[in-house]
């Protein structure tokens, strides 16, 4: 099935791949410094294995025509939903949330895989339609495809992933040509329904949101995390404290510093200049993604590229927004940088998807 076609290799987007790998490397070096601070020694090596595995998956994903993938989307979606259900029943729990499935002794987060599946199924659902004839009835299908996993993911609960599916869906619906007025009404409906979300949340999640609205509320818990993260980032100043110079990180002031708050470690060491460069790197990747969407051969490729790009962009913005105290702490990895195998796989898979669309832009069926 995997066919190496010279034309495909010629059209490979080397720039996208290079920038992604550059950010992955920056992330890995940051992990090395975190573990050099005497925290979780074996981390960088394990992350390296995940990166290698992620690249293999990336190649497989890119090699098979995306239209083939989309034909399998309903099946994949079914499997994804099944896995999300399994997590609720058999999942391993950590800190009050069931997010992990153990596969041969290795923990795996189905939500991460599901992000990619979600892009595929939504593209499949939206791909064949004429945008001028969009009606409310036809909106119900994508809406259903969105709500089912969101409810399951909220049950785990994993607020971050559940929330991140929303901009992805919004971006793809918008790109598919849904009328602006209808999208606006949907957004309004979401706002009205958001109190419903409240009942799904665990106490600690409600607390985090309340803390965001009123930072004086919990000086020891979440507000403490955010305050420490802000101190770490700010104390990096313009030039940073240098590699291995992060005192905040070393003194264990920083919570979750290898996963959700890895950006703070980086910012402390590399300062505003480093952050500027890192954001530029992400920005290039994202803009490249939109360009791939623009140049895609067909609607399907267009939608896939928009989905993949909005997913990456939204994750970057929410994660960094969270670390800088700009957004509430919902718990979400930073693509390519946070420690975590499932997250690394899913980020590299999005890149694989983008490469896939790009490679086949000149091929006609």
Contact between 60 and another protein per CB under 8 A: no
Report how far residue 31's alpha carbon sits from residue 269's, in angstroms, rounded to the nearest whole number: 12
48, 276, 277, 363: residue in contact with another protein (rule CB under 8 A): 276
Contact between 175 and another protein per CB under 8 A: yes
Report how far residue 5's alpha carbon sits from residue 13's, in angstroms, rounded to the nearest whole number: 15
With respect to another protein, which residue has the nearer C-beta, 46 or 230? 230
Work out how close the CB of 23 gets to another protein at its nearest, in angstroms, rounded to a whole number. 14
44, 54, 142, 236: residue in contact with another protein (rule CB under 8 A): 236
Contact between 15 and another protein per CB under 8 A: no
Residues 83-142 that bind another protein (CB under 8 A): 129-131
Work out how close the CB of 267 gets to another protein at its nearest, in angstroms, rounded to a whole number. 7
How many CB atoms neighbour CB 24 within 10 A? Answer: 21
- In 3D, which of 338, 352, 315 has the Cα closest to residue 265? 338
227, 259, 281, 361: residue in contact with another protein (rule CB under 8 A): 227
Work out how close the CB of 235 gets to another protein at its nearest, in angstroms, rounded to a whole number. 4
Work out how close the CB of 227 gets to another protein at its nearest, in angstroms, rounded to a whole number. 7
Residues 239-268 that bind another protein (CB under 8 A): 247-248, 251-253, 267-268
Contact between 360 and another protein per CB under 8 A: no
With respect to another protein, which residue has the nearer C-beta, 99 or 302? 302
Among the listed ranges 69-77, 115-123, 290-298, 343-351, the one in contact with another protein (CB under 8 A) is: 290-298
Report how far residue 22's alpha carbon sits from residue 75's, in angstroms, rounded to the nearest whole number: 34
Which run of H or E residues covers position 92?
strand 92-94
Contact between 338 and another protein per CB under 8 A: no
Q: What is the largest CA-CA distance in the chain?
A: 61
152, 232, 311, 337: residue in contact with another protein (rule CB under 8 A): 232
- In 3D, which of 254, 284, 264, 364 has the Cα closest to residue 324? 264
The tokens describing 127, both together, are 């791909």
138, 231, 256, 281: residue in contact with another protein (rule CB under 8 A): 231
* Strand-by-strand arrangement of the 92-94 sheet: 92-94, 97-103, 106-108
Among the listed ranges 18-26, 109-117, 277-285, 355-363, the one in contact with another protein (CB under 8 A) is: 277-285
233, 265, 353, 357: residue in contact with another protein (rule CB under 8 A): 233
62, 120, 308, 313: residue in contact with another protein (rule CB under 8 A): 313
Size of the site for another protein (CB under 8 A): 60
- In 3D, which of 81, 73, 78 has the Cα closest to residue 124? 73
Q: Tell the burial category of 2 from Cβ atoms under 10 Å away from its Cβ (0-12, 13-18, 19+).
A: exposed
Let me know the angle formed at the C-alpha of 73 by 67 and 74, rounded to the nearest 5 degrees. 140
Collapse the DSSP code of 97 into the 3-class scheme (helix H, G, I; strand E, B; otherwise coil) and give the result.
strand
Distances from the Cα of 68 to the Cα of 9, 73, 193, 301, angstroms? 19, 9, 36, 12
Work out how close the CB of 89 gets to another protein at its nearest, in angstroms, rounded to a whole number. 23
* Residue partners of 220: CB distance under 8 A and separation at least 6: none
The tokens describing 323, both together, are 């670390």
Residues in the site for another protein, rule: CB under 8 A? 39, 129-131, 171, 174-177, 216-220, 223-224, 227-228, 230-238, 247-248, 251-253, 267-268, 271-272, 275-276, 279, 282-283, 286-287, 290, 293-294, 296, 299, 302-303, 306, 309-310, 313, 317, 320-321, 324-326
């Amino acid at each position: 099935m995997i066919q190496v076609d010279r034309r495909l290799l010629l059209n490979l987007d080397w720039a996208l791949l290079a920038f992604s790998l550059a950010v992955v490397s920056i992330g890995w070096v940051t992990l090395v410094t975190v573990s050099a601070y005497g925290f979780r020694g074996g981390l960088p090596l394990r992350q390296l294995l995940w990166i290698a595995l992620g690249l293999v998956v990336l190649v497989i994903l890119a090699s098979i025509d995306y239209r083939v993938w989309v034909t399998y989307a309903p099946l994949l979606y079914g499997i994804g939903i099944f896995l999300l259900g399994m997590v609720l029943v058999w999942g391993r729990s950590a800190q009050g949330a069931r997010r992990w499935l153990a596969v041969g002794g290795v923990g795996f987060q189905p939500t991460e895989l599901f992000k990619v599946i979600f892009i595929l199924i939504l593209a499949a659902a939206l791909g064949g339609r004429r945008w001028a004839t969009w009606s409310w009835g036809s909106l119900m299908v994508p809406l259903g495809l969105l709500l089912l996993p969101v409810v399951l993911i909220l049950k785990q609960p994993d607020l971050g992933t559940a929330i991140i599916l929303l901009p992805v869906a919004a971006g793809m619906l918008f790109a598919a040509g849904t009328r602006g007025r209808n999208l606006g009404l949907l957004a309004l409906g979401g706002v009205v329904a958001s109190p419903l979300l409240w009942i799904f949340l665990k106490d600690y999640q409600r607390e985090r949101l309340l803390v965001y609205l009123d930072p004086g509320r919990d000086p020891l818990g979440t507000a403490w995390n955010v305050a420490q993260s802000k101190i770490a980032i700010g104390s990096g100043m313009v030039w940073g404290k240098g590699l291995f110079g992060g005192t905040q990180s070393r003194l264990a002031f920083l919570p979750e510093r290898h996963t959700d708050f890895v950006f703070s470690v980086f910012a402390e060491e590399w300062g505003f200049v480093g952050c500027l460069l890192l954001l530029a790197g992400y920005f290039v990747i994202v803009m490249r993604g939109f360009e791939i969407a623009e140049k895609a051969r067909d609607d399907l490729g267009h939608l896939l590229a928009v989905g993949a790009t909005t997913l990456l962009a939204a994750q970057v913005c929410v994660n960094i927004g969270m670390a800088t105290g700009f957004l509430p702490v919902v718990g979400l990895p930073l693509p390519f940088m946070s420690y975590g195998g499932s997250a690394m796989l899913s980020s590299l898979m999005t890149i694989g998807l983008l490469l896939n669309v790009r490679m086949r832009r000149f091929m006609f069926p």
